[in-house]
Amino acid sequence: MKHDFYIYNTLTRKEEQFVPLNPPNVGLYVCGPTVYDNPHLGHARGAINFDVLFRYLMHLGYKVRYVRNITDVGHLEDDVHDEGEDRIERRARLEKLEPMEIVQHYSNQYHRSMELLNVLPPSIEPRASGHIIEQQELVKKIIENGLAYVNGGSVYFDLEKYSKTHNYGRLSGRKLDELLSSTRELGGTHEKKSPLDFALWKKAGPEHIMQWPSEWSRGFPGWHVECSAMGMKYLGEKFDIHGGGMDLLFPHHECEIAQSTAALGGDHVKYWVHNNMINIKDQKMSKSLKNAITLEELFAGKHEALDKAYTPMTVRFFILQAHYRSTIDFSNEALQAAEKGLERLMNGMKALKKINPSARSTVNIRELRDSCYEAMNNDMNTAVAISRLFNGVRLINSLLSDKKEGIDKKDLDTLRGLYHTFVYDIFGLKNEEQLSSAADELNGELIKMLLALRLEAKNRGDFAVADKIRSQLNDLGIVVKDTKDGFEWDRK
């Protein structure tokens, strides 16, 4: 099974069989958030897509070291031109706080949201500001290898020189000539030799609170350096998978490849994996475009674009119902469809518990099982895998209601195992209804009492009371079904 997992490699533009460098270990690095604001739906998508990759690789039996960083320094407002204020410092200035207070606050927010979304914590979550020495060491290597230069206390990557021997742009497919012609001219006093050169170390102006000593100046690292340095530190000079959003493909990941190649002489990543974006009114949802809906707003239903609140599991399911490389269009209709879909799936899980085994199976469980794995092995297609699970729900319902269909003990165990594995372990979904179980248990007992009283009323001919009990329960969202053995109840 595990040898059949194929994943799309952005670098080769092909679906490739996943073969780890050092099995059973797998190194996975994913670009995490820049923590200067509340996480939004776009952040949830990347985190959830790579959470499922992490879970699926573990399910396949790999020992995964998953590193997801926190960017807390060096990400400037204009990250294409290495200009403007540091995003964290800007927020600190506006909120009159120390930058690290901003970092702490928004990291906590991010972690809280991730927990609600049932995103597993990564194995290591390194911070850029906590790895200054490692970044400086990397910059030194690039200078030693002649591919960076120092000017005015800052260090820049020499892209022109690098391009003579290496193919800059091979990840994103961009051409250096075209990039150069579309880039604005540098001012006369600029320190860069070429407008495409990017900062590895920036000398800090007096307005920069976050600065550290170095042999070049008191300053701070360029944005792209952290991922190269921290990936190398925790996953080795060459590792299996580097992930991130498609919006990071250029320039961030392209620059990362250039840095690592310049320092180590070769590629540092085997598979580059990118998740697509969430669009809202045909635009990418992003903080900088000011069209983002935060996760807090989504869970509370408090945003003008929202008709209602959506639970974390609805949001998770909404994201998983699309393939990770397709765009997702935000709409209330789509979220409400996901809500219904999730309910259908969870009802299927409940129904699955009630099936009793027969002597012989009339259903083909292996086919269903294989079709789910096939979807996941085919570039982690959660959308197709979910549609297969929906087929299975139809099958489950017919096993419960149709007397001609039957399933033997072994097949039933397989079916239950399949749903448990896919729904809970791989997709990371939770049954939100079950969360408040103690109070729910009491509700069950109280409802039983009421139904017994209803039966008594019926028996003594007091149909008015019997009907009233049923209709009041109905008003409370409790649906009562008469069954052979007595009755069942459920929430609407």
- Would you tell me which residues interact with its own copies (CB under 8 A)? 65, 98, 100-101, 103-105, 108, 111, 121-127, 129-133, 137, 212-213, 234, 435-436, 438-440, 442-443, 445-447, 449-450, 453, 456, 465, 469, 472-473, 476
The pair of structure tokens assigned to 253 is 């990941």
* Contact (CB, 8 A) for 273 and 8: yes
- Cα dihedral angle (250, 251, 255, 256), rounded to 10 degrees? -60
For its own copies, which is the closer residue by CB, 13 or 96? 96
Q: How far is the CB of 112 from its own copies (least distance, A)?
A: 9
Cβ 244 to its own copies, closest distance in Å? 20
Question: E strands within 344-485?
Answer: 478-483
Q: How far is the CB of 212 from its own copies (least distance, A)?
A: 5
Q: Which is nearer to its own copies, 98 or 367 (CB)?
A: 98
The per-residue b/e assignment along 383-408, b for 16 or more CB within 10 angstroms, e otherwise, is ebbbbbbeebbebbbebeeeeebbbb
State the helix-helix crossing angle for 382-401 and 332-354, rounded to 10 degrees. 40
Shortest CB 228 distance to its own copies, Å: 17
Q: Which is nearer to its own copies, 130 or 195 (CB)?
A: 130
Closest contact distance (angstroms) between CB of 477 and its own copies is 8
Q: Cα dist. 128→68, 69, 299 in Å?
A: 11, 7, 30
Maximum CA pair distance of the chain? 98
Residues in Cβ contact with 273 at an 8 Å cutoff, skipping those fewer than 6 apart: 7, 8, 9, 10, 50, 53, 241, 242, 243
Q: Which is nearer to its own copies, 193 or 238 (CB)?
A: 238
Nearer of residues 138 and 418 to its own copies, judged by Cβ: 138
**Alpha carbon distance 474, 258 (integer Å):** 64
The CA angle 152-153-155, to the nearest 5 degrees, is 100
Considering beta carbons, is residue 359 or 435 the nearer one to its own copies?
435
Q: Looking at residue 130, what DSSP letter applies?
A: G
Q: How far is the CB of 83 from its own copies (least distance, A)?
A: 25
Looking at the Cβ atoms of 417 and 444, the one nearer to its own copies is 444
Residue nearer to its own copies on the CB measure, 38 or 104: 104
CB of 312 to its own copies, least distance (A): 15
Whole-number minimum distance, CB 133 to its own copies, in Å? 5
